[in-house]
Amino acid sequence: MTASAPRPAAVAPQPGRRPGAAAVLEVAGLSVSFEPKSPGSEVVRDVGFTLSAGEVLALVGESGSGKSVTASAILGLLPRPAQITSGSIRLGGDELTGLSQRGLSAYRGRRLGVIFQNPLASLDPSFTVRNQLGEIIRHHRPGLGSGARNELAAEWLRRVGIGDADRVLRAYPHELSGGMRQRVMIALASLAEPAVLIADEPTTALDTVVQRQVLDLLHEVVTTRDAALLLITHDFDVVEHMADRVVVLRDGRVVEAGVRSEVLQRPRHPYTKLLLSSVPRLGAAPAGAGRGAAQPGADAGPPPGTGSAAASEGNPGGTGSADAGRPGRVTSGARTPLAGPADPADLTEPNDPAEAADSERGELLTVRDLTKTFALGGLGTGMPRREFTAVKDVAFAVRPGEAYGLIGRSGSGKSTVARLIGGLLPATSGSVVFDGHQITGSGGAALTRLRPRFQYVFQDATSSLNPRLTVGEQILRPLRRFGLAGRGRAAGRELLEEKLALVGLPAELGGRYPHALSGGQRQRIGIARALALEPELLILDEPTSALDVSTQATLVELLLDLKHRLGLTYVFIGHNLALVEWICDRIGVLEQGALVDEFATDDLYDDTRAEETRALLAANLSTRKAGTP
């Protein structure tokens, strides 16, 4: 049980181990490969760490770093072709590698529990919570009668902060919210009181308010039982909130390990530094970027000063190294330096004076009393017709050159608003006026004429690109549609090159299919496609939410840079307050379909903010650190 057994020294010294605490999980020299027969193909190489009782260890890395594969290897749940090629995994002194599935069963649940990433998918949709918890209890404690099983399940639900345990027990997973489901999942994984709990990105799919509650709960569940938690995450806010020690993974290798304060405040490895500098923080935009806020007392009205303060903080080379440090093919040379001298005059020039005069009070986009209801049930479904109001009487205006942020929890209606503005959904009532032209209600030719002037960038870059067309073709299609692609192949190629250069991609990428690009590159293609028609307004629906922090940082910098260079206007939808603060000049807060607060970004911390805004602010994990360097 004790850690006295000789252990291959795979990692640097492990400071911060609580003296006297026994190592409950020891991973040493672990390598995993999807092609076990070909050497050098490992996706996890020589990874090692130990985890003691009562400790929280964060395994941090970007997608593809091997952190989830490491977790699967510990659980013995590697997908079929993947195998552990070397190394050892010791749980309380027992070697787990080489055990059969049957052999591993003895450890699962009882000594090793796991919480998966997606609470919406980790419970079986066909059975009630009672049934699923009951199954786990029956498995681990076969002696209990059904009454005692129910009692125990209800007790655990109460322990994870579910007040009406009886209702939840009778519910099917779809009848519970994401946060509730994750609580049930934590109860399920903790039922057998395992010594080690593995949580694989437990809050990535949850909005910030719920995220914080779930993390706090997880911490409590682990520490009160003196269990150990292996937390897999890409989010440094989560790390800072939860972890005692941190292991940073990159390309399957450990690049840095140590106690939290050491790693976060004095990172030794450049990769860790890069990751840390990419995290958007409330009240402090990441190094080398920013919309140029933070001038106390400055009038926040349009036009915003963009990028003027950017060069003052951090390393100017940070953006370049972000790309150079990655194996991707993004050439930093193609990009205009971010922190160029700001010339506010550039930003306001109206694209067409005559039209600008048309538009009301200098507003590019005016939204009035916008309402959208969806009908559920009705004729032929056998269910009574019900109406669900997703957006209710929302009104705001966006001025040219401005970045307007819409923020809210999941289900607050922010994406619906974006689609209504983009003319992708018909509004139930109210109006959206773009530069003097009605978008709502106008269809067909009128809307088609307007379309090139406002474009949309979707949340999921992968599914918004057609997998069967080259990305170059996808950028050129809208141009052809409006007869702007020029004549002949050469003209098209030249145009494409120009559009790709705009988003910092080399021309060769135009011939590739989406699957041959990285997530960040795909989203750049999405932006290039939206920009191809030279629009004035971009509607950005959480364009970075599927990306790693460092990719997110470079993409946000690109967006800020494009806005500055092309004089674009943004409507930016987000759920991460720090990110919205980073990009936007003004912010609107949505709660249950209604706009409950609206303010200039600099006034975010005012006492007069609406309750929902303060709730979002309080839930942000990095709030406590706001203002500190």
Partner 1 sequence: MGTVKRIGWRLLLMLPILALVSVLAFLIGVLTPGDPIEAQYANRFTAEQLDQIRATYGLDLPLWQQYFVWLKNVAVDGGGISIVLGVPVFDILGPNFLNTLILTLGGVVACVVFGMAIGATAGIFHRTWIDRAVMLIVQIGSNLSIYWFGLVLIIVFSLQLQWLPVGGMQSRNGGGFADLLAHLVLPSLAAGLISMLVLARFVRIGIIHEVGTEHFKTFASQGIPRWKLYGKHVGRNILPSAVNITGLEIGTLITGVIFVESVFNWPGIGTQLLNAVNGKDYPVIQGGILLVAACYLVVNLLTDITVDSLNPRLRRA
Q: Using CB under 8 A as the criterion, which residues of the chain lie in contact with partner 1 when the complex forms?
A: 75, 77, 79-81, 101-102, 104-110, 112-114, 116-118, 121-128, 132, 135-136, 139-140, 172, 174, 185, 188-189, 192, 377, 380-383
d(C-alpha 481, C-alpha 498), whole Å: 18
The minimum distance between CB 92 and partner 1, in angstroms, equals: 15
Nearest CB to partner 1, comparing residues 152 and 356: 152
CB 174 within 8 A of CB 121: no
Q: How far apart are CA 180 and CA 168, in angstroms?
A: 9
Rounded (5°) CA angle 80-86-90: 95
Amino acid symbol at 284: A
Please, what is the minimum distance in Å from the beta carbon of residue 27 to partner 1?
Answer: 17
Minimum Å gap between C-beta 139 and partner 1 is 6
Which one-letter DSSP state was computed for residue 607? T
Q: How far is the CB of 611 from partner 1 (least distance, A)?
A: 33
Residue 131 to residue 559: CA distance in whole angstroms:
48
What own/partner pairs with CB < 8 Å and gap ≥ 24 does 419-425 have?
419/541, 420/370, 420/372, 420/391, 421/365, 421/367, 421/454, 421/539, 421/571, 422/454, 422/456, 422/539, 423/447, 423/450, 423/451, 423/454, 424/456, 425/372
Residue 124 or 494: which CB sits closer to partner 1? 124
Least Cβ distance, residue 317 to partner 1 (angstroms): 41
Nearer of residues 96 and 254 to partner 1, judged by Cβ:
96
Q: How far is the CB of 192 from partner 1 (least distance, A)?
A: 7
102 vs 487, beta carbon nearer partner 1: 102
Do 328 and 521 contact (CB within 8 A), yes or no? yes
Q: Which is nearer to partner 1, 233 or 550 (CB)?
A: 233
Q: How far is the CB of 140 from partner 1 (least distance, A)?
A: 8
Considering the complex, state which of residue 119 and residue 401 has its C-beta at the smaller distance from partner 1: 119
Least gap, CB of 391 to partner 1 (angstroms): 24
* Phi, psi for 439 (deg, rounded to 5): -95, -45
Look at strands 56-60 and 228-233 and give their pairing. Answer: parallel
Find, among 175, 181, 209, the residue nearest to 117 by Cα: 181
Element (H, E) at 182: helix 178-190
Q: Provide the β-strand partners of residue 94.
A: 91
157/579 with CB nearer partner 1: 157
- CA atoms of 55 and 523, how far apart (whole Å): 38
Q: Nearest approach, Cβ of 320 to partner 1 (angstroms)?
A: 39
Q: For residue 334, how many other CB atoms are within 10 A of its CB?
A: 15
Would you say 75 or 421 has its CB closer to partner 1? Answer: 75
End-to-end C-alpha distance for the chain, whole angstroms? 42
Q: H-helix or E-strand containing 358? A: helix 353-358
Beta-strand pair 365-378/429-434: antiparallel
395 phi-psi bin (left φ>0, alpha ψ -120 to 50, beta other):
beta
Question: What is Dmax (Cα atoms) for the chain?
Answer: 82
- Whether 245 contacts 260, CB under 8 Å: yes
Q: Which two tokens stand for residue 337?
A: 């330096």
Shorter beta-carbon distance to partner 1: residue 136 or 243: 136
Distance between CA 58 and CA 230 in Å, rounded? 6
Shortest Cβ distance from residue 60 to partner 1 (Å)?
Answer: 22
- The Cα 230–Cα 249 span in angstroms is 14
Closest approach, Cβ 73 to partner 1, in A, equals: 13
DSSP 92-143: TTEE-TT--HHHHHTTBTTTEEEE-S-TTTSS-TTS-HHHHHHHHHHHH-TT
Query: Hey, what are 516's tokens?
Result: 């041959």
Least Å distance, CB 56 to partner 1, is 19
In the chain, the amino acid numbered 188 is: L
Give 79 or 98: the residue with its C-beta nearer to partner 1. Answer: 79
**Closest approach of partner 1 to the CB of residue 362, in Å:** 49
Closer CB to partner 1, 375 or 618, in the complex = 375
- CA 537, CA 514: separation in Å to the nearest integer? 25
Secondary structure letter of residue 272 according to DSSP:
H
- Calpha distance 564→65 (Å, rounded): 34
Local structure of 27: helix, strand or coil: strand
Taking the least distance from each CB to partner 1, the nearer of 132 and 366 is: 132
Residue (24 or 553) nearer to partner 1, CB: 24
Please, which residue, 110 or 159, has the CB nearer to partner 1?
110
Strands of the sheet containing 586-591, edge to edge, are 454-457, 537-541, 569-574, 403-407, 586-591, 594-600
Query: What is the spatial distance between Cα 373 and Cα 427, in angstroms, rounded to a whole number?
Result: 8
Q: At closest approach, how far in Å is the CB of 106 from partner 1?
A: 7
- The helix (H) or strand (E) run that includes residue 561 is helix 549-566
The least distance separating partner 1 from the CB of residue 50, rounded to whole angstroms, comes to: 21
> Which C-beta is closer to partner 1: that of 126 or that of 608?
126
Q: How far is the CB of 102 from partner 1 (least distance, A)?
A: 8
What is d(CA 114, CA 106) in angstroms, rounded to the nearest whole number? 15
Q: Which is nearer to partner 1, 217 or 621 (CB)?
A: 217
Question: Using an 8 Å Cβ cutoff, are 81 and 167 in contact?
Answer: no
